[in-house]
Amino acid sequence: MRRICFTGWLAVAVLLLPLSFFGCVLFPSTNAVIELNGSSGIVPFTVEFDGSSSSGSGGIDTYHWTFGTGDEWYGEGGSYTYEHAGSYTLTLTVRDASGRTSTDSVTIEVGPAVWITDENLDRIYKLDMEGNEIASFAAPASRPRGIAPALFNGEWSLYVVCQGDGFQRIFRVDPETGAVVAERSAPAQNPLQLTYGADDPERVWHVDGLSGKIYELNPTSFQVLGSFGTNYFHASQQVGNEPFLHDPQGLDWAEEPGPAGSLWYLEGETKRLYEIEIVPPTSIFSGVQLKVTGDPVELDPSVFPVSAIAWYDGLLWVADVYHHDIVQIDPATGMKTGEKITEFPGMKIAGLAIQK
């Protein structure tokens, strides 16, 4: 009887052959799998994520999620809210019982929300950038005008100013239901636009057509912290003796430049757009100052009269009252870019804001 023996490398090869052949059975691969309820939406966008379909040798021991915002989460699944518009990468990394890892990623697209008030219908609308209605609810008082979304104390709110029936009010409302959270009398008799400055010092900025002033308000109490009238701005060489705060047709806050951002103001009488830098207090004994910077830009006359403006992604959007359009303007030239939002609901747009 003959015995066959394997020695050296041949023996090793024979021993490893079954493991190689059956490797997919003995050592199953590790796979991260992301399941979502959706990957695109309008800000704020809540995504529900689940990694339970992931697999690995001995099961999955660890689920690690990142959202493209600096936040992270450990767990099989959950939900996460994207508070700002943008493109994000949601990533899942799993580790199985044998220590092997696998990663899966999905791109999340979050679009901005467009908020408008309708002065005739006493209604507030939330739209996407194509003008489709996402939600709507009754205004907190008649003749709503300026509107401003604000991520305040970690939650989104809407500031709304209403002319009312002789009782001018500023409200903070829940953007989901329209329920009033806080309210106070407006500082003057013809409230128009308002905007929220998110950089320190956080402020609500409001312009009134009768008093011809820009008001600086505390975002919690609505207390007037400062007011800036025509004579204040006439001291700047950019304004000089030109009409200013005579016919306010737009006010919006932008994140840059400067540490506290800037205000963009549209004077209807001259059709000129001004950039106003917000200068923070230099001490506890001083207040915020406003400084007109750069040269004003005259806007395309075909969009007037304008009821409100909104600044988004380096471009200006204006509410064209006569044509019931929201028109994009190049702030460097004052000319229309050709982009606009049309066929949205309502009859007379009064307020405009873009939730970023």
Tell me the per-residue pLDDT of 33-90, one tens digit each, with 9 for 90 and over: 999 999 999 999 999 999 999 999 999 999 999 999 999 999 999 999 999 999 999 9
Spatial CB neighbours of 125, under 8 Å, sequence gap ≥ 6: 115, 116, 117, 118, 133, 135, 136, 344, 345, 346
DSSP 203-259: EEEEEETTTTEEEEE-TTT--EEEEEEHHHHHTSTTTTTS--SSSEEEEEEES-SST
Q: Please tell me the predicted confidence (pLDDT) of residue 6.
A: 33
Third-level CATH fold of 112-355: Neuraminidase (2.120.10)
Task: Return d(Cα 130, Cα 44) in angstroms, integer.
Answer: 17
Considering the chain, what percentage of its residues have pLDDT values greater than 70? 92
**DSSP state letters, 62-82:** EEEEE-SSS-EEESSEEEEEE
User: Residue 286: is its pLDDT beyond 90?
Assistant: no
User: Across the strands, what pairs with 239?
Assistant: none
* 178-196: average pLDDT: 96
Average pLDDT over residues 177-195: 96
Contact by Cβ (8 Å): 299, 318 = yes
Sequence letter at residue 225 = L
CATH 2.102.10.10 given to domain 29-110: no
Bridge partners (DSSP) listed for residue 276 = 263, 292
Could you give the 3-state DSSP secondary structure of residue 172? strand
Structural element, H or E, at residue 259: none
Nearest Cα neighbor of 101 from 156, 155, 32 is: 32
- The domain segmentation of the chain, as residue ranges, is 29-110, 112-355
Residues 196, 151: Cα–Cα separation, whole Å: 9
Express each pLDDT in 201-250 by its tens digit.
899 999 999 999 999 999 999 999 999 999 999 888 899 899 999 999 99
CB–CB of 119/350 below 8 Å? yes
**Is 56 within 8 Å of 94 (Cβ atoms)?**
yes
Mean pLDDT, range 281-291, rounded to an integer: 89
> Average pLDDT, whole number, for the chain?
91
* CA angle (52 as vertex; 48, 55 as ends), nearest 5: 145
Which one, of 160, 168, 81, lies nearest residue 124 by Cα?
160
State yes or no: pLDDT of 25 exceeds 60.
Answer: no
Report the greatest alpha carbon distance in the chain.
Answer: 118
Tokens of 160: 């709304």
Question: Cα(197)–Cα(217) distance, rounded to whole angstroms?
Answer: 10
CA-nearest of 192, 186, 173, 188 to 124 is: 173
| Cα torsion angle, 305, 183, 115, 258, sign | positive
Half-sphere exposure of 60 (CA within 13 A, CB side): 24
Q: Are 204 and 193 in contact (CB under 8 A)?
A: no
Burial class (CB in 10 A: 0-12, 13-18, 19+), 210: exposed
